[in-house]
């Protein structure tokens, strides 16, 4: 149930007329196919959410491209029946596709490399750590939060995803700062 896409896979700047729907065939982009087959040697997991700064996605895509790595975009749905324990088994096998708006944002920001996107119910730090472990990811990429009272309250209630990842799992975590934030 995953969706693979490549930024601007439709070849234009406007939204494609036929957007894939749930249950439709996966989209693929054979980035680098003209130069021969690109062999993926590792995996990079990036935490994604609707409205996130595109710089995080660009940094994750560049890292994956440089490492010749598989890029997995994971949207942790913390508002859906979150429990202390995540679902059993491979989280990506039971994952839902990300929403259409988020899929659109991903396809606009991630260019030059293929990626997969999944929506998984659970606490963001736990979901990202579990997916990274299950997929033997080389690194986890997250962004910083926007400044402001609303984000400070969210961080106070939820905690820092980057800090939780750095303290509670063994994989490297790349935290991409927002441009111009203080």
Break the chain into its structural domains and give their ranges: 39-176
Full-model pTM: 0.73
Contact 138, 171 (CB under 8 A): yes
> Exposed, middle or buried, 178 (CB in 10 Å: 0-12/13-18/19+)?
middle
Beta bridge partners of 142: 175
d(CA 65, CA 71): 9
Q: What is the largest CA-CA distance in the chain?
A: 50
Which pLDDT value is given to residue 88? 74
In the chain, the N- to C-terminal Cα span, in Å, equals: 39
Which pLDDT value is given to residue 147? 62
d(CA 38, CA 120): 28
pLDDT tens string, the chain, 182 residues long: the values are 334 444 433 333 333 334 443 333 333 344 444 455 555 579 999 999 999 999 999 999 999 999 999 999 999 998 755 555 666 778 999 899 999 999 999 999 999 899 999 999 998 999 999 999 999 999 999 998 666 666 566 555 556 889 899 999 999 999 998 765 44
Which pLDDT value is given to residue 6? 44
Which pLDDT value is given to residue 55? 94
CATH 3.40.50.620 fits 39-176, yes or no: yes
Count the neighbouring beta carbons within 10 Å of the beta carbon of residue 65.
19
> Exposed, middle or buried, 116 (CB in 10 Å: 0-12/13-18/19+)?
buried
């Amino acid at each position: 149930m995953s969706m693979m896409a490549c930024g601007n896979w439709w070849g234009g700047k406007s939204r494609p007329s036929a957007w894939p729907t749930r249950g439709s065939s996966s989209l693929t982009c054979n980035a680098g196919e003209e130069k021969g087959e690109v062999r993926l040697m590792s995996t990079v997991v990036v935490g994604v959410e609707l409205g996130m700064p595109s710089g995080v996605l660009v940094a994750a895509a560049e890292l994956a491209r440089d490492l010749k790595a598989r890029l997995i975009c994971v949207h942790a749905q913390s508002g859906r029946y979150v429990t202390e324990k995540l679902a059993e088994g491979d989280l990506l096998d039971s994952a839902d596709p990300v929403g259409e708006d988020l899929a659109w944002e991903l396809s606009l920001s991630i260019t030059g490399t293929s990626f997969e996107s999944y929506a998984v119910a659970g606490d963001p730090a736990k979901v990202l750590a579990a997916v990274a472990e299950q997929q033997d990811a080389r690194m986890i990429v997250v962004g910083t939060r926007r400044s402001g009272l609303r984000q400070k309250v969210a961080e106070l209630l939820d905690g820092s995803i980057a800090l939780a990842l750095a303290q509670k799992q063994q994989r490297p975590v790349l935290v991409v700062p927002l441009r111009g934030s203080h």
